[in-house]
Structure 1
Amino acid sequence: MGGVTRSQRTNLLGAVALVAALSGLAFGLPALNHALPADRAVPTDRPYAIGGGVTVVPPPGARIDVTETRPANDSGTVLFRLGPVRYLVSVQPYHGTLPTAVARLRQRITGTSGYQVTGTELTVATASGLTGLQGGYSGPGRGGRYAVFVTAGRAIEVTVSGDDLDLGRTLPVIDASTGTLTFVPERSR
């Protein structure tokens, strides 16, 4: 029996280096990902592009949750956090009516155990002329508000949730932010 050849030693070193690199990727990247904060500061003095031609000016003090934010060409989602309050705006392609879009969102809300829609729905409008419907909901230890707008093949859904005390403090700035929702058709961009 002979010793280890130079070629075998080179192959072994290469294999060990490959295993080390793959281990670094498998364990190092997730550790780095968990070390980074999920929320980041976002400028609140200019419109934020959600996707699908829809923008919104974030409320003062808002931070963006990058784990729940997904911009795209024809759709998108952004999650702003104001302390413990969640302010989510979602845009999807949609070719139905406003009442049907509102019913879909209400069904998703009430499909969560313990959540129910409360009160009556009211008409709501943005400064850019989008009109929609707005309502409220409640769940275990949380309350919330939702709004839905339908325009030019898009459904824009807004959901806000938090405990009653925090919601009471932040709803005025969130309402003002929702009022800045704007849709710019693709040919105008």
Structure 2
Amino acid sequence: MDKVIDWSKIKAVVLDRDGVINHDSDAYIKSPEEWIPIAGSLAAIAKLNQGFKVAIATNQSGIGRGFYDELVLAQMHQKMADLLAKHHGHIDQIEFCPHHPDDGCECRKPNTLMLEKIARNFDLDPSEMVFIGDSKSDYESAQAFDCAFVLVLTGKGLQTLEKLAGKDIQIEKSLAKLVETIGN
């Protein structure tokens, strides 16, 4: 049974990036050219902008692994912003963890530092936020932060669904499909 979210109480939607907004790759997204939006995701964000703050919380260990640097990440995010603008959408805040998984940092999901920063920035309680992701670490971060979570089946979502079997979570095919259901 899927957990039901009371969207009337939600003020901010936090999105994982790779696998939720854009196509993911086991070889990492390393350049603006490799950053390709998932069909419907940008229009969905523009629709979310009409009722919610929209933020991103994304692990970007490709920086810590030396595959790209923060300048290239900024170029990827600029491409995303430019494409979103064509849909009259925007991202209100982006938080990212640039560290290697072995660095032991506080920001890497499943830790909650990125969610904490977003909540502080918008002056929100965790109960006023929902995190939309495709990975077990997204789910674990939302659980630790005590905010709602939606698993999308894009990206690594199908593999994650197997890992989270039996958990009481809301599941949607994609970000676009989720946004269609809000308010219905």
TM-score with structure 2 setting the length: 0.29
Higher RCO (CA 8 Å, separation ≥ 6 residues): 2
Higher strand share: 1
Whichever of the two has the greater Rg, that structure is: 1
Higher helix share: 2
TM-score with structure 1 setting the length: 0.28
